[in-house]
């Protein structure tokens, strides 16, 4: 049986183990989307993972969802990622950038753009916008057919910047209600052109975005994250089995390196996706920030069901040495939710490595007649 500590070949990369760090937004970049020295330290601390996936990175200002997140839409940003990727490589790790386009999950207060979406369907929620706090999501502008094609190509441009910035590859964010899943959905995609309607049309945007990234940097450096049937940020997929069968067909034809699946409640449906996918399958058992973080037992379960890698999110926030803790059975520290997005180094760089406790000292006076006077 495969162990978490066996190596795995991912495209041209040999991963020393099957533990992946799940992408996690930490909102520690500058206001103009530049990565910082603290981010280099954060990722380098976690470099023993088989694969690190970065926080969501906007491929364009139009695609920026949250404040204080980093970008990959200019040569300057690509260059600013170098110290991060170099620090990871120096520590022996590998890192993919997660390209996250928010679509309608965005607000003009953050980057100055009216959000775009497949259709002008408003998200019924408030979004954190920075200094002005929570504001209602606005009605997004529906992309024209030509604009949808152009928006998919943005993922190719960002993939090129990612490799220029030293990343080993990119993961397209096709999960959790952002632009790619908005096109996949049956409720936010109300289009009647080639990007809407039947499942075979609704997968077009995802496949074109993946194709743009493949054309830019090669299929062995491109993966995609998916949340089949997921409902985060108001998503509905009324035909998920048919939809994901069509999507995997389209992505397999591109020979994409991996799919990274947020595991939902329907285990059989997930196993069917595993069987349908020819390349690397990464499972994230914690799914959509479930009630408890992914555990070692979840990971073993999913390796047993055929996953090649298992990703851990929250456990990686609090345990930079997660691989070693899993290997030795050392206890895991708990993350502090209040510091997830608060900025600064507290709750970011200060989670310590596990220190095995020293052998207990023999009790004074132990041993026959010891010290007896
Ligand atoms: C603070 C935080 C930020 C997250 N940001 C992202 C993100 O940028 N992109 C993404 O795909 N998932 C994101 N997620 C979801 C995680 O990748 C993961 O799917 C989730 O935490 C469940 O896995 P776990 O139980 O191992 O934590 C985030 C989760 C957390 C806790």
pLDDT in tens, 334-360: 999 999 999 999 999 999 999 887 555
pLDDT above 80 (res 362)? no
Q: How confident is the model at residue 371 (pLDDT cuts 50, 70, 90)?
A: very low
Cβ 138 vs Cβ 225: under 8 Å? no
Q: State the greatest distance between any 2 C-alpha atoms of the chain, in Å, as a whole number.
A: 96
Cα distance between residue 152 and residue 346, in whole Å: 37
CA of 188 to the centre of ligand 1 (A): 23
For atom 18 of ligand 1, the residue with the nearest CA is: 313
pLDDT above 70 (res 140)? yes
Task: Please tell me which residue, 291 or 326, carries the higher pLDDT value.
Answer: 326
Cβ 234 vs Cβ 244: under 8 Å? no
Q: Residue range 67-85: average pLDDT? A: 98
Residue 37: exposure state from Cβ atoms within 10 A (0-12, 13-18, ≥19) = exposed
pLDDT above 80 (res 130)? yes
Q: Give pLDDT, residue 361.
A: 56
Domains and CATH numbers, the chain: 8-339 (3.20.20.70)
* Least reliable range by pLDDT among 2-6, 16-20, 213-217, 359-363: 359-363
Length of the chain: 373
Could you list the active site residues? Answer: 178
Q: Residue range 322-329: average pLDDT? A: 97
Q: Residue range 278-303: average pLDDT? A: 93
* Least reliable range by pLDDT among 93-97, 196-200, 231-235, 363-367: 363-367
Q: Residue range 7-27: average pLDDT? A: 97
Q: Residue range 69-75: average pLDDT? A: 98
Share of the chain above pLDDT 70, in %: 96
How many Cβ atoms are within 10 Å of 296's Cβ, its own excluded? Answer: 18
pLDDT above 70 (res 365)? no
Query: What is the token pair recorded at 121?
Result: 């369907």
- Characterise 229 by phi-psi region: left (phi > 0), alpha (psi -120 to 50), beta (else): left
CA of 344 to the centre of ligand 1 (A): 19
Residues with CB under 6 A from ligand 1: 22-25, 55-56, 98, 100, 173, 175-176, 225, 262, 284, 286-287, 289-290, 293-294, 312-315, 340
Cβ 320 vs Cβ 13: under 8 Å? no
Closest CA to 257 of 159, 137, 129: 159
pLDDT in tens, 156-176: 999 999 999 999 999 999 999
For atom 29 of ligand 1, the residue with the nearest CA is: 24
The packing angle between helices 204-217 and 145-164, to 10°, is 30
pLDDT in tens, 99-124: 999 999 999 999 999 999 999 999 99
What atom in ligand 1 is closest to the CA of residue 293?
25
* Least reliable range by pLDDT among 35-39, 201-205, 355-359: 355-359
How many angstroms separate the Cα of 164 from the Cα of each of 69, 97, 322? 19, 12, 29
Q: Give pLDDT, residue 290.
A: 81
């Amino acid at each position: 049986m495969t162990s978490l500590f066996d190596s795995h070949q991912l495209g041209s990369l040999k991963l020393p183990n099957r533990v992946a760090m799940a992408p996690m937004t930490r909102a520690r970049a500058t206001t103009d989307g530049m990565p910082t020295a603290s981010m280099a330290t954060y990722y380098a601390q976690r470099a023993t993972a088989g694969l690190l996936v970065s926080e969501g990175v906007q491929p364009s200002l139009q695609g920026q969802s949250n404040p204080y997140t980093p970008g990959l839409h200019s040569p300057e940003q690509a260059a600013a990622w170098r110290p991060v990727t170099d620090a990871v490589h120096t520590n022996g790790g590998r890192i993919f950038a997660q390209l996250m386009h928010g679509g309608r999950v965005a607000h003009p207060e953050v980057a100055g753009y009216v959000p775009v979406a497949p259709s002008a369907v408003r998200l019924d929620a408030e979004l954190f916008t920075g200094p002005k706090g929570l504001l209602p999501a606005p009605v997004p502008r529906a992309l024209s057919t030509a604009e949808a094609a152009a928006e998919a190509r943005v993922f190719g441009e960002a993939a090129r910047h990612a490799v220029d910035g030293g990343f080993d590859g990119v993961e397209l964010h096709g999960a959790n209600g952002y632009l790619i899943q908005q096109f996949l959905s049956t409720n936010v995609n109300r289009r009647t052109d080639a990007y809407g309607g039947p499942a075979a049309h609704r997968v077009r945007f995802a496949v074109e975005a993946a194709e743009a990234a493949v054309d830019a940097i090669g299929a062995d450096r491109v993966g995609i994250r998916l949340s089949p049937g997921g409902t985060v940020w108001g998503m509905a997929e009324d035909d998920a089995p048919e939809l994901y069968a069509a999507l995997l067909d389209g992505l397999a034809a591109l020979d994409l390196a991996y799919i990274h699946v947020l595991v939902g409640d329907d285990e059989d449906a997930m196993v069917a996706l595993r069987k349908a996918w020819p390349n690397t399958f990464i499972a994230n058992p914690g799914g959509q920030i479930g009630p408890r973080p992914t555990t070692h037992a979840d990971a073993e379960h999913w390796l047993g069901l055929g996953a090649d890698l298992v990703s851990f999110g929250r456990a990686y926030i609090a345990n930079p040495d997660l691989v070693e803790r899993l290997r030795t059975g050392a206890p895991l520290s708990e993350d502090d939710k209040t510091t997830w997005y608060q900025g600064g180094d507290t709750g970011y760089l200060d989670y310590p490595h596990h220190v095995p406790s020293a052998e207990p000292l023999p009790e004074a006076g132990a041993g026959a007649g010891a010290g007896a006077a």
